[in-house]
Structure 1
Amino acid sequence: MVRWVTISSDEYESMKSTLEILSDPELMQQIEESREDFKAGRYTELRELEKNSNSTDTLIS
């Protein structure tokens, strides 16, 4: 029995990118450390970054 699934090219590219990230042990370690930092409250909110920035532009529009 033959089966197949049709997905958009965007979805396919997204899946490839996800697999690439998941297969990179160093990157996965960095992601895990970032999650731990966030859970422990070790982060700076965007508003605080913008307030302390020397620029009159916002970081995200």
Structure 2
Amino acid sequence: MNRPQLNLFHTGGRIDQRNYSCVGSCAAMLLRTLNIDVAFISTSSWDLEHGLSTHTRRKCW
């Protein structure tokens, strides 16, 4: 990255081989310790009525 004013963090944890996302308690614990101004976080699916969802319990923290 050629943006010295930005800090990029990788949460770590177990890697989900299907979509290369970080899952598990290690990733969740790191996110709880950060004071984040802007974050780009994804989900497997979303619905206006039911909200965010994912296909595995390991990603629900």
TM class by shorter-chain length? under 0.3
Q: TM-score, normalised by structure 2?
A: 0.21
Which structure has more helix as a fraction of its residues?
1
Q: Relative CO higher for 1 or 2, CA cutoff 8 Å, sep ≥ 6? A: 2
Q: TM-score, normalised by structure 1?
A: 0.21
Which structure has more strand as a fraction of its residues?
2
